[in-house]
Amino acid sequence: MRKTVRVLCLITAVSLVVLPSALEHCGWLKENSGFQLDKTCSAIFPALSPVLDLFSVIALRSFRWLALLCLPVLVMALFKGRWFCRFICPVGLITEQVVRLRPHSLPAVKPLPFIHRHLFCLMLGSALIGYPLFLWFDPLSVFNGFLNAWHRPVTWTSVISGMGFAVIIVMSYIYPANLCYRICPLGYFQDLMRELARLVTKSVLHLRGGLAGLRPAQSAGLSAKRAAEQGVADTKLGAAFSRFQFLSLALGGGIGYLMIMVNRKKRKHIRPPGAIEESSFTALCVRCGNCVNNCPARVLHPDWTGESGLEGVLTPVLKVEPDYCYEWCNDCAKVCPTGAIKRISLEEKKNIAFGTAEVLRDKCVAWGSQQYCKVCQENCPYRAIDLIRNRGVPCPVVREDRCRGCGICQKLCPAPVKSIIVRGCEHRVLADVKTGRIAALPGIYPCRLVRQVNKTVVYST
Tens of pLDDT, residues 56-83: 999 998 888 888 889 999 999 998 888 8
Chain CA centroid to CA 13, Å: 18
Radius of gyration of the chain (CA): 27
Assign domain 355-460 to a CATH class: alpha beta
pLDDT at 382 over 60: yes
Q: How confident is the model at residue 434 (pLDDT cuts 50, 70, 90)?
A: low
- Reduced to 3 states (helix: H, G, I; strand: E, B; else coil), residue 113 is coil
pLDDT of residue 340: 92
**Cβ–Cβ < 8 Å for 410, 420:** yes
**Cβ–Cβ < 8 Å for 323, 297:** yes
pLDDT at 356 over 60: yes
pLDDT at 446 over 50: no
pLDDT of residue 27: 52
Buried b (16+ CB within 10 A) or exposed e, 25-60: eeeebeeeeeeeeebbebbbbbbbbbbbbbbbbbbb
pLDDT at 91 over 50: yes
pLDDT at 334 over 80: yes
pLDDT of residue 254: 94
pLDDT of residue 16: 63
Tens of pLDDT, residues 234-279: 434 444 457 788 889 999 999 999 988 887 766 678 999 999 988 8
Cα angle 47, 50, 52 (rounded to 5 degrees) comes to 60
Q: How many residues does the chain have?
A: 461
Query: Cβ of 209: how many Cβ atoms within 10 Å?
Result: 7
Pick the range with the lowest mean pLDDT from 30-39, 198-207, 326-335.
Answer: 30-39
Tens of pLDDT, residues 157-176: 777 778 888 899 998 888 88
Long-range contacts of 396-400 (CB under 8 A, 24+ apart): 396/359, 396/364, 396/366, 396/367, 396/420, 397/359, 397/458, 398/356, 398/357, 398/358, 398/359, 400/356
Residues 6+ apart with CB under 8 A from 94: 10, 169
**Cβ–Cβ < 8 Å for 433, 347:** no
Indicate the domain borders of the chain: 2-262, 355-460
Residues 6+ apart with CB under 8 A from 448: 459, 460, 461
pLDDT at 228 over 60: no
Cα–Cα distance between 396 and 410 in angstroms, integer?
12
Cα–Cα distance between 330 and 48 in angstroms, integer?
23
How many helices (H) and strands (E) in the chain? 22, 8
pLDDT at 364 over 90: yes
pLDDT of residue 263: 79
pLDDT of residue 177: 81
Beta bridge partners of 317: 301
Tens of pLDDT, residues 246-255: 889 999 999 9
Q: How confident is the model at residue 369 (pLDDT cuts 50, 70, 90)?
A: confident
Q: How confident is the model at residue 120 (pLDDT cuts 50, 70, 90)?
A: very high
**Cβ–Cβ < 8 Å for 311, 341:** no
pLDDT at 360 over 90: yes
Cα–Cα distance between 206 and 401 in angstroms, integer?
66
Cα–Cα distance between 385 and 393 in angstroms, integer?
15
**Cβ–Cβ < 8 Å for 187, 86:** no
Phi and psi angles of residue 385, each rounded to the nearest 5 degrees, phi first: -120, 120
The mean pLDDT value of the chain amounts to 79
